[in-house]
Structures are given as C-alpha cells and as structure tokens.
Amino acid sequence: MNYIQAQQRVQDLKKFYKNLLWFGIVAIFIFADDILEKGIFNLSLWDGSIILAIWGIILTVKAVKLFIFDSEWERGIIEKEMKKTKEPIQL
C-alpha cells in the first residue's frame, strides 16, 4: 500500500467512525425519547427505528467495504486472476 492509498484509507476510516459515533448519539436520543414517553415496558422498536435501520444498513455496507473488501483483498483477487490468465505472448 502506497502513501496515497494509506492516506485515503485513514480518511475513510475517520469518516466511518464519525458516522458510527453520530449513529450512536442519535440512537440514544431516539430510544431515550421513547422511554420517557411510553415507559420502559411499552417500547416499540418501530417508532423512529426505520431511520436507524436504514442508517445501520448503510453503516454495515461501509464497514464491510472498509474491513473485509479492502485493498489487500482486491490485490489478492487481482493476482489470482492474473495467474489464471497467464498466456504466452505469440508474436
């Protein structure tokens, strides 16, 4: 990984962790509001949670992209495909 790729990865990680922090803060406010309005035993997961569900799905996709399908994975797949298709040059 060269410097530019490393710098981009650090920026992507920083954005991801900021989004994760905001997700946690918003989730706490939504669930705290539900607890104050309805009490702890009458909570419904559907009140305000559609936004959290969509946001959670987006964060999950970003996490998979950052931590599973990173540049090392991509480089490994490219090398594997290049080994498969090595054909001699015919002049």
Q: How many structural domains compose the chain?
A: 1
Q: What does pLDDT average to in each consecutive run of 10 residues of the chain (91 residues)?
A: 82 93 91 75 64 89 87 79 69 61
Residue 90 falls within a domain, yes or no?
no
Domain with 49 in it: 3-84
Residue 91 falls within a domain, yes or no?
no
Residue 7 falls within a domain, yes or no?
yes
Residue 78 falls within a domain, yes or no?
yes
Residue 38 falls within a domain, yes or no?
yes
pLDDT at 90: 64
Q: Is residue 23 within 8 Å of 52, Cβ to Cβ?
A: yes
Supply 25's token pair: 């803060």
Q: Give the C-alpha distances (Å, rounded to integers) separating 32 from 29, 37, 40, 84.
A: 5, 9, 9, 56
Residue 89 falls within a domain, yes or no?
no
Residue 31 falls within a domain, yes or no?
yes
pLDDT at 87: 65
pLDDT at 40: 65
pLDDT at 74: 78
pLDDT at 45: 58
Q: Residue written as tokens 């495909």?
A: 81
HSE (side-chain half, CA atoms, 13 Å) at 41: 0
